Amino acid sequence: MPRTNEEPTPDARAAASAEPRELRTHPIALVPAVLVCGAAVLLFGFMVPIAGYAMLAAGLLVAWLCDRSGRTERLLADLALIAVGQVIISTISLKAELSNEGMARFAVVLGLAVLVPYVISRFVYREHAIRFPWRTGRRWNRTQWLYLIFVTLAGWLILPFYFISSGVYENWPTVTDPEQIGRLLVGVVAVGTWDELFFICTVFVLLRRHFPSWQANLLQSIVFVSFLWELGYQSWGPLLTIPFALIQGYTFKLTKSLTYVFVVHMLFDAVVFAVIVYAHTGWPAIFLPVP
């Protein structure tokens, strides 16, 4: 994984926000966190919203009891932000649409899923827990640049086999003309950007205030992978999306840079976009033949 070894400049204050403020916690805090994050499996994986909402409510109730007992501090407040984001996302189908109405619906709902938790945290809680550190003041080192090359090559080798052999490319609209291809590109970039804003800079960062990074990363990956499942990464897709979600969280922990994890995601999604177009049209013919 990429590491940074240079001292940050004064511009790195935004990156420092990625470091969680330590709060009083207790192992029992994992119970409500698992309930809240696990609700994503019901909301987005199995698409049974009533059961998902009940699981969210149970998690928040247990978090309230943990805070009330003094074992944890502000656990309810932070898990509530994650729950709010999930509820907002669950109000629409995540099936990819390229119509004006479908793209607008995605933009509004997914935008609110990031904006509402941020506004509550910033102006109701009066905290700076959720931030988006685009500028860190650090230069990328050789390892980080090599990792970008590795991500691109790995995607080029693996993604065509996954999308085409499993048939999951059909979960995305058929794109054959320039306008449709352009809309697909906009959608892939927009959703990929949103992934990092919500799952990493919101869910992961909030969880790290209460749990060791490895536990917070596992928890955020549950929500991340469940979302990607409904979006279309089905069949044996979790074998790819689970490592991807975990690596993105770990990379953010190391680099403290939203810009870097964003670039990693965009390189991966560039291959995703090319594969979907290739599966539908046979162009661009830049991939190895799929058995």
Instruction: Please write the tens of the pLDDT for every residue from 205-257.
Output: 999 999 999 999 999 999 999 999 999 999 999 999 999 999 999 999 999 99
Residue 16 resides in a domain: no
Tokens of 214: 């490895």
Contact indicator for 92, 109 with CB cutoff of 8 Å? yes
pLDDT at 9 over 50: no
In a domain, 12, yes or no: no
Structural domain harbouring 65: 25-129+141-281
Give the helix ranges, DSSP H, for the chain.
13-16, 30-40, 49-69, 75-89, 100-119, 142-166, 178-195, 205-208, 213-231, 238-255, 258-281
Judge whether 98 lies within some domain. yes
Whether 38 is covered by a domain: the verdict is: yes
**Number of domains within the chain:** 1
Residue 31 in any domain: the answer is yes
Residue 291 lies in a domain: no
pLDDT score recorded for residue 136: 87
Average pLDDT over residues 273-281: 97
Is residue 41 included in any domain, yes or no?
yes
* 194 lies in some domain: yes
Task: Read off the pLDDT band of 10 (50, 70, 90).
Answer: very low
